[in-house]
Amino acid sequence: MGASTKTGKFAVGFTAFAFVFILISFCSPYWLQTDGKLEKPKFTNLGLWELCLKNFTDIHRFYDTSFEGCMWIFEEEYYIIHDYILPGFFIAVQFFFTLCFTMLLMGAFMTMIYLSCSRDDDRFIMLLLTNGTTLVVGAICGLIAVITFGCYGDSRDWMPNWEHNGMGWAFALGVVGVFALFPAGILFIVEARRATYRRLNNIANAEMAAYTMDERKHRGGHTDI
C-alpha cells in the first residue's frame, strides 16, 4: 500500500492533523471575540460565516434598526450593514480560506486514494505530486487568509469596542492547521521524488539482470559449440 514509508506516514499524519484543525476553524464563529470585560458589549464573536451582536445599532447610518443574536453573515437582515460588516479585507479572508479548505478537501480525497494505491501503479507518482502540490497551494492560500485577518481583524475601524476585541481560538486553530499543511504537501512531494528514484533503480536493476542472463546464455551457447 501507499503509506509504507516514514515519509508517507508523516505526510498522511500532517494532512489529517491539518484537516481537523482547519475544518473546525472554518465552521466555528470564534475568529474574533470580545474579552468579556464589558457589561453590555455590542459585539460578542465572529467567524467566517457567522456574526453575533447584542443591541447593535450603526450610528453612522440613518436607521434605528437594532441587531441582536447570532446570524449567518449573509443573512438578509444584515443587508443594510453589509458594507460595514464585510469590508474588503474580510471578503479576501473568506475567499482565500475557502480556497484553502477546498484544496484540503481535494488533498484529503487524494490521500485516501494514496493509502489504498499500490506503489507499482503507473499513476502512483503523479498522485503524490498532485496531492503535494495541491496541499502546498492550499497552505499558501490559507497563509494569506490568516495573515490578512491577523493584521486587520481587531482594528479600530471594524467591530465596535475594538479595544476589547481579540483573536479567538478558532483563528488560532486555523493558523496551526495552515502551518501543518506545508509539511504535509512538501512530504508528499519528497515521497514522489523518492518513489521516482526507486522506480528508476528497479528498472535499472531489471535491465542489468536481463543483460546478465543474456550474457550467460550467450556464453553457454559458445561453450556448447
> For position 100, which CATH number holds?
1.20.140.150
Mean pLDDT of 196-222: 61
Query: How many domains, in total, are found in the chain?
Result: 1
CB-facing half-sphere around the CA of 53: CA atoms within 13 A: 19
Number of H helices and E strands in the chain, helices first, is 5, 5
Which amino acid would we find at residue 69? Answer: G
Q: What is the pTM of this model?
A: 0.82
Evaluate whether residue 101 is within a structural domain. Answer: yes
Segment of 72-76, 117-121, 215-219 carrying the highest mean pLDDT: 72-76
Does residue 195 belong to any structural domain of this protein?
A: yes
What confidence tens digit (pLDDT) does each residue in 74-97 have?
888 878 888 888 899 999 999 999
Question: What does the pLDDT read at residue 34?
Answer: 87
184 in Cβ contact with 107 (< 8 Å): yes
CA distance 188 to 130: 9
> Cα–Cα distance between 193 and 200 in angstroms, integer?
11
Domain that includes residue 132, residue range: 6-200
Give the separation between CA 14 and CA 106, rounded to whole angstroms.
15
Residue 180 falls inside a structural domain: yes
In a domain, 205, yes or no: no
Least confident of 59-73, 151-165, 173-187: 59-73
Neighbour order of strands in the sheet with 67-72: 67-72, 50-56, 43-46, 32-34, 165-167
Whether residue 209 lies inside any domain: the answer is no
- Does 157 map to a domain? yes
217, pLDDT greater than 90: no
Q: In this structure, is residue 44 part of a structural domain?
A: yes
Q: Is residue 34 part of a domain?
A: yes
